[in-house]
């Protein structure tokens, strides 16, 4: 039996995130991976920024000034988008794990992603 093709490599690691050439399920799984990593990074950034608030009123004023930065505003938008994409895709995964909608995973994915895009657009209009 040929075990060489089954060995770990850097190329195989990056292919875990690249869904090109895969079916819809591969795209959904890659989307969940990328948003999960982004949300995890955000959690650590969020905790470090909140530590500014422990510095008292001057820290709070610095925090408010930081939130007006356009890059931070875009980051807030990206976090909200990732939450909805990851969350609704997760609901689809939970449903299919319990045997609900197993035969209609594509329509479930498309439906949840349409809902996510609509919510993200509403959030974008309200934010800006």
Kindly list the domain boundaries of the chain, sorted by start residue.
23-127
Query: What b-and-e string marks burial along 79-118, b requiring 16 or more CB atoms within 10 Å of the CB?
Result: bebbbbbbebbeebbebbeeeeeeeebeebbeebbeebee
Q: Which two tokens mark 70?
A: 């356009």
* Fold category of 23-127 in CATH: 3 helical TM bundles of succinate and fumarate reductases (1.20.1300)
pLDDT of residue 60: 81
Q: pTM of the predicted model, to two decimals?
A: 0.78
Mean pLDDT calculated for residue range 92-119 = 93
Q: Is the pLDDT of residue 45 over 90?
A: no
């Amino acid at each position: 039996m040929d075990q060489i093709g089954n060995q770990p490599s850097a190329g195989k690691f990056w292919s875990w995130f690249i869904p090109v050439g895969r079916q819809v399920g591969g795209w959904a799984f890659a989307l969940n991976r990328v948003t999960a990593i982004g949300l995890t990074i955000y959690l650590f950034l969020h905790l470090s920024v909140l530590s500014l608030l422990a510095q008292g009123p001057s820290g709070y004023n610095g925090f408010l000034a930081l939130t007006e930065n356009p890059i931070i505003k875009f980051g807030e938008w990206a976090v909200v988008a990732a939450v909805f994409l990851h969350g609704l895709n997760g609901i689809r995964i939970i449903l299919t794990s319990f045997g609900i909608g197993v035969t209609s995973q594509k329509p479930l994915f498309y439906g949840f992603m349409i809902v996510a895009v609509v919510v993200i657009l509403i959030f974008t209009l309200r934010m800006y």
